[in-house]
Structure 1
Amino acid sequence: MTDGDRDVSVLRNKRDASRYQILVAIAARQPAVSQQEIADAVGVTAQAVSEYVRDLVDAEYVEKHGRGRYEVTKEGVDWLISRTEDLRDYTEFVTEEVIGQVESETAIADDAVRTGDRVTLSMRDGTLHAIPGGTDGALAVAITDAEEGEDVGVAEFEGLLDYRPGRVTVVVLPGVREGGSRAIDADRLAALAADHDLVAVAGTEALAAVRRAGREPDVRFGTALGVQEAAVRGLSVLLVLTARERSAHTDRLREHNVSYELVDARE
């Protein structure tokens, strides 16, 4: 998995979605490519296909070898692979971690809800919320009564929960004999902490470094699980750890399709 945030623009951007479909269609039919055939397959006009193909050629994702003859370039294949991986990871994430195969889930009621009410689901601050009413997005049915701010049971899920997994930024410290917390730029670490929802530490050197940056960590124990679950629920996490803790945490993030970025905050 590539470090850094996953960009699911194919889901959010109509232009990228069309480019993706057209590039797949070209790859499946190259080198002899009928724009009308692609238009029929994708559900756009032949004129739109022509414009998208010209755009893909300009982006060097497609090479033109004469009238009606096109070939997807290595850059185009790489773009397709990256977007396909993003879609797969996002789908797995939503299916397994967000809605899953559960019969019911618990949310916070944003207003009074009664059993049988239709509700719209949203994820805020890492917590599922239920808003009475709605016809679009992630929908469910309340299976308990609740007043505003109370927990409410929801089931009979429909639709896709519209939010992105949180980002994880990892700062790796050397051990105490190699400088430990003193090897870190405290101002840089403080700026990183201010840019994330949560700060987690693993190792005593990491705790000292975060305190040196003027911050108390939000998570000190069970950080491998805690960081993964926080990111899955849409929270951004700054994870500060020692080199000996790195693999235990990054391996878990990769196993659960949580992307992360390594940042150097040393002096």
Structure 2
Amino acid sequence: MPDHSQSDADVLRSKRSATRYQILVQIAERQPAVSQQEIADEIGVTAQAVSDYLQGLVEEGFVVKEGRGRYEVTKEGVDWLIGQTDGLQEYVSHVASDVIGQVEVETAVARTDVAEGETVSVTMRDGVLCAIAGDAGSATAVAVTDAAEGEDVGVTNFEGVVDYELGSVTVVSVPRVQDGGSRAVDPGRVAALASEHDLVATAGTEAFVAAGRCDVTPDVRFGTPAAVQEAATKGLSVLLLASTNELSAHTDRLRDANISYEVVDAAD
């Protein structure tokens, strides 16, 4: 009896092994009535190639032929498929965690001088990932570049969890111009709210003009739903002045991302 034992991800080592694997999967899905042409079309080989592979699989005991166009995968064939699939899963897990995970590089701001290869603590400050020389923090990484304090630094090999809380969004709805526009907003109320938040964003022309009337300079003039959500996700509290036609796009996005928000009345 042939030795069917295989090493992890052996099916990836040659086109022949990969094709045998795909054909066995197709037979298992379609059995007992198997169309060689359908299998050929599905996996991108010729019908003659499928026929040749089938002959070999029958000879090896992976497939039994029950009649014209009728094939079934044997227990040995199923065992081989399971072994190969387990190997693929282990290989994919290895690539994801040990390979990709090791080479994934994030960018941080160096809050101290950092040397390449040095262990750093990573934290979130003012919505920006920061790196500090040493391993005293709840999350650490390894610097892949040199950096002076204040420069950008590449970090990888993360361990632990970066400890920070999600931010929140306070939304001021600004009416369309035909409904009063920026003139319907209380300048004192908006200015007070702006002083209580990390970042001010505007969405829509009426909202931008309202900020100017309130003597508030927006940090983000074109506050798209993605930008506002990203700021809150990084732990910032955001005051969003949004024209009414922009409002639902923002609140829908925040709701989907589980970001806390409230809509306040800032009418004059």
TM-score where L is the length of structure 1: 0.60
Which residue of the partner structure matches residue 86 of structure 2?
A: none
Matched residue count: 168
Give the drift of 1:263. Answer: 0.8
Matched, 1:157 2:145: no
Q: Tell me the distance in 1 between the aligned counterparts of 2:189 and 2:205.
A: 19
> For residue 110 of structure 1, what is the aligned residue in structure 2?
111
Shift of 1:256: 2.2
Structure 2: how far apart are the matches of 1:202 and 1:239? 7
Tell me which residue corresponds to 2:213: 212
* CA pair 109-194 structure 1, distance change in 2 beyond 3 A: same
Q: In structure 2, what residue type is equivalent to 1:151? A: D
Give the 3 Å change call, closer, same or farther, for CA 102–252 of structure 1 in structure 2.
Answer: farther
The alpha-carbon deviation at position 102 of structure 1 amounts to 8.2
Q: Once the 2 structures are TM-superposed, how far is the Cα of residue 101 of structure 1 from its aligned partner?
A: 10
Q: Map of 1:63-74 to 2, 5 A cutoff?
A: none
For residue 233 of structure 1, what is the aligned residue in structure 2? 234
The corresponding residue for 2:251 is 250
C-alpha distance after superposition, 1:8-56 (max 9, x if no partner)? xxxxxxxxxxxxxxxxxxxxxxxxxxxxxxxxxxxxxxxxxxxxxxxxx
Shift in alpha-carbon separation, 1:216–1:102, aligned structure 2, 3 A? farther
Shift of 1:190: 0.5
Cα distance in structure 2, aligned partners of 1:197 and 1:136: 24
User: Within 1, Cα distance between the matches of 2:216 and 2:141?
Assistant: 39
Q: Report SS of the residue matched to 1:239.
A: strand
Superposed, which structure 2 residues align to 1:1-267 within 5 Å? 103-267=104-268
Q: Distance in 2 between matches of 1:179 and 1:130?
A: 47
Root-mean-square deviation over aligned CA pairs: 1.8
Q: Which has the higher contact order (CA 8 A, sep 6+)?
A: 1
Tell me if structure 1 keeps the 8 A contact 2:108–2:154.
yes
Deviation string for 1:97-127 (max 9, x for gaps)? xxx9982211111122112211101111211
- Larger Cα-atom Rg: 2
CA distance in 1, matches of 2:208, 2:102: 38
Shift of 1:255: 2.2
Q: Which amino acid aligns with 1:261?
A: E
Q: Structure 1: how far apart are the matches of 2:124 and 2:171?
A: 24
Structure 1: unaligned runs, 5 residues or longer: 1-99
Q: CA deviation at 1:136?
A: 3.9
- Percent of aligned pairs with the same residue? 61
The 2-side partners of 1:219 and 1:110 are apart by 25
TM-score, length of structure 2 as denominator length: 0.59
Using the alignment, how far apart are the partners of 1:101 and 1:225 within structure 2?
A: 29
The answer to whether the 8 A contact 2:109-2:128 is kept is yes
Cα distance change on mapping 1:201 and 1:101 into 2, 3 Å: farther
User: 1:252, 1:235 → 2: CA distance?
Assistant: 16
CA distance in 1 between counterparts of 2:223 and 2:189 reads: 25
Please report how far the alpha carbon of residue 223 of structure 1 lies from its aligned counterpart in structure 2 after TM superposition.
2.2
2:112 and 2:183 mapped to 1: Cα distance? 49
1:168 and 1:149 map into 2 onto residues whose CA distance is 28
SS in 1 for 2:216: coil
Structure 2 counterpart of 1:31:
none
Q: Any conservation in 1 of the 2:122–2:137 contact (CA below 8 Å)?
A: no
Matched residues in 2 for 1:265 and 1:222: separation? 19
